[in-house]
Structure 1
Amino acid sequence: MITIDQVRHFKFPKGAEVRPLKPEELVHINKELKRVLSEIYSKGKLTAQYAPSGSEQFADPADRASSEEVNSVVFRLRDREHKMIRKIKGALSRMENGEYGICEECGEYIAPARLLARPVTSYCLTCKTEQEVEEKLRQDS
């Protein structure tokens, strides 16, 4: 089993260069976040069309079960959309405040490769790994 101390002392591969983002990288990520946000809002309108009205009456229990399953999927999708919207808005806010690309936990720069792969992240790879290990240890105990 991995411990927190092992994670803290792990040396990540050299390819994960840690430095401030270049202005063109920041512009690229900003545009991508805004594009994804717009896409989520567009899909959200579509998802809302399938939301239950609450007035459905079903004589057949199978129809009711099917409807409840669809409703469950729609609610999960909308929940994911809302979570992603919050993350994107948080990232855009950090950009405006000049805090984007700085780990909220340790204050170090987040590797540009990580930000390009996961633009909504607010943690460097080490701190995020520590969080995940701590969470796994809590679940296992």
Structure 2
Amino acid sequence: MSDDADTDRAVVKTFVPTYQKDEWKRHADDLDMSQSEFVRTMVQAGRRGFGLESGAGESANRAEGPSDAPDPRGDGLETRLLDLLNSDEYLSWDRLVEELAGDFEDRLEETLQELQNENRVQYSGRRGGYTVTNDGE
């Protein structure tokens, strides 16, 4: 795949009821995002939530292992960073960390919850942390 293919943009059109568009606009404004950035982010988040494939040979949670994808570092950070930087002229270091860390924190919380539901991990308030259980083996 050429470098140009990684940065090419395409228009996607959809039709939603006016009230929904207004709601999305308000939410995007609250998050200081453009409408395009908001919709793109929500679609990608939904795809991860459904465990859908995110691209050729890549799992939705690419941190699980290496892939043959154009981003060999594995977690799509480069793509997510470029998406953020395309939304505004300049973003501070703190804002970039906040935007990117939030995604990781959500994924971490979801994964911990799944592991607890499977009884593979447990939390101990008394000991102040998580540990692997013997029951989940």
Check whether TM > 0.5. Answer: no
| TM-score, with length taken from structure 1 | 0.29
Structure having the larger proportion of residues in helix: 1
Max Rg structure: 1
Query: Which protein has greater RCO, CA pairs closer than 8 Å, 6+ apart?
Result: 1
| TM-score, with length taken from structure 2 | 0.29
